[in-house]
Chain A
Amino acid sequence: MIYLVIVMTVIMIVGSIAILFQKTLRKAALISGIVSLMAAGFFVLMKAYDVAITEASIGAMLTTALYFFSIKRIEEIEKTGESETRDEGK
C-alpha cells in the first residue's frame, strides 16, 4: 500500500511541476486533469468516497472540459481576430 501511495505522490508532484513549466496550454490542462484524477485516487485511499466521486466528476472532468472549451475559444479569437465589443445591456 505504502509503495502505491509513494508512486501516486511522485506522479502528482511531478505532474503539478510539469503544469507550471509546460509550454502548451492544452497539455497543461490535460496534466491538470490527471493530477485531479490522482487526487480522487488519494481520496479513495483516505476512505473519502463522497469526495472522490465529486472530485472525479467536477474537479477532474468538468474543470478540464472548461479549460479545453476556453482554450478553443481563445484560439478561435486569435484566428479570426474577433474584437467586436458589445454595447447592449450594460
Chain B
Amino acid sequence: MRANKNYVIFNIAVLILMLVATLYIYKAFNSKAPGRRIMSVPIEKRVSYRYITKSVLNPTERRVVFGETGYEDGSANLVTSIVVNYRAFDTLLEVIILFTATAGVLFLMRGRKRTGYSEASLIVKTGIPIINLFVAVTGIVIILQGHLTPGGGFPGGAVVASGFFLSFLAYKYKANKTVFLILETIGGLGIIIVGLLGLFLKLSFLENFMPLGPIGGFFSSGIVLILYILIGIKVSSEISNIGIAFVSHDEKEGL
C-alpha cells in the first residue's frame, strides 16, 4: 500500500469531516429542545418490559417465578423467549440470511480447486478427534439448554461447526458436502413446517402450539426447543459448508 500524498490528504479530509459530523451528532444528543431524547425511556416503559413479565396477552402485575406454571411463554432465559417466541420471525429471517450467505459462498466458489497444502503435525492429527468429541458435546448441550441457560441454536450450531473447522485444519479434506446439504434442507423445511403447524393448528404463523411447563424445566418452552434444535442443525451444517468452500481441495461438482 503505497502511501502517496493524495491519499494522506484524503485520509485527513475524511477525518476532519467525520469529526465535524460527530460534533454535530453530539450536540444533537445534548440539545435541550422539547421532545423525546436518547435514553429518555426507562426499561419499564419499553415494550420489552412485557417480555420480562411475560404479560403481552394479559397485562398483569404478576412477576415471573422460578418453577411455576401458567405463563404465556415458558423459557427461563428471557432472551431466548424473545428470539424464538415473541420475535420468532426475526429468527427465521436470521436463519435465512445465513442460508443466503452460504448459498452465495458455495455459488461463487464453485468449480474452484485449491492448489497449496501443508501437512499438519502428528500431535494435531491425533489430538483433534479427541477435542472434537468435547466440542460436539458442548455444542449440543448449548443448543438443548438454550431456553434455560445462555446459549441456543446459533452459538451451539457455531460451536458444533467449529469442530468441523478444526478437522479441516488437520486433514486434507476431501469434502463430502452431501450430508451437510441434506441436513440444511431438513433444518430449513422443518422450521417452515413448524411455522405452518402454528398457522393451521392455531391462528398465526410460528405460533406456539405445544404445552408449556414450569419455568426452568427442560420441557417447559413449547416450540422453542424444537425450533432451537432445527436452527442448530441448520446453522451448524451451513457454517460447515462455508468452511468446506474455503478450505476444500476437491471441488468437482459445480453447484
Let me know if B151 is at the binding interface, CB within 8 A: yes
Q: Tell me the B130-184 residues at the A interface (CB within 8 Å).
A: 142, 150-152, 154-155, 158-159, 161-162, 165
Given known contacts A53-B142, A54-B154, A86-B254, is B246 in contact with A76 (CB within 8 Å)? no
Look across to chain A and name the residue whose beta carbon is closest to the beta carbon of B117. A76
CB-based contact B255/A62 at 8 Å: no
Let me know if B239 is at the binding interface, CB within 8 A: yes
CA distance A49 to B150 in the complex (A): 6
CA distance A69 to B244 in the complex (A): 10
User: Hey, which chain B residues are within 8 Å of A70, CB to CB?
Assistant: 246
Contact-residue bracket for chain B: 20 to 34
CB-based contact A58/B80 at 8 Å: no
Q: Tell me the A24-66 residues at the B interface (CB within 8 Å).
A: 48-54, 57-58, 61-62, 65-66
Let me know if B229 is at the binding interface, CB within 8 A: no
User: Hey, which chain B residues are within 8 Å of A50, CB to CB?
Assistant: 77, 79-80, 150-152, 155
CA distance A51 to B165 in the complex (A): 22
- 10 cross-chain CB contacts under 8 A: A23-B1, A57-B155, A61-B158, A62-B162, A76-B114, A76-B116, A79-B115, A88-B254, A89-B110, A89-B255
Q: A62-B161, A75-B116, A89-B111 are in contact. List 10 more A-B contacts (CB 8 A).
A: A50-B150, A50-B152, A54-B155, A61-B162, A66-B246, A69-B246, A76-B115, A79-B115, A86-B110, A89-B255
Q: Could you tell me which B residues sit within 8 Å of A by CB distance? A: 1, 77, 79-80, 110-112, 114-116, 142, 150-152, 154-155, 158-159, 161-162, 165, 239, 242-243, 246-247, 254-255
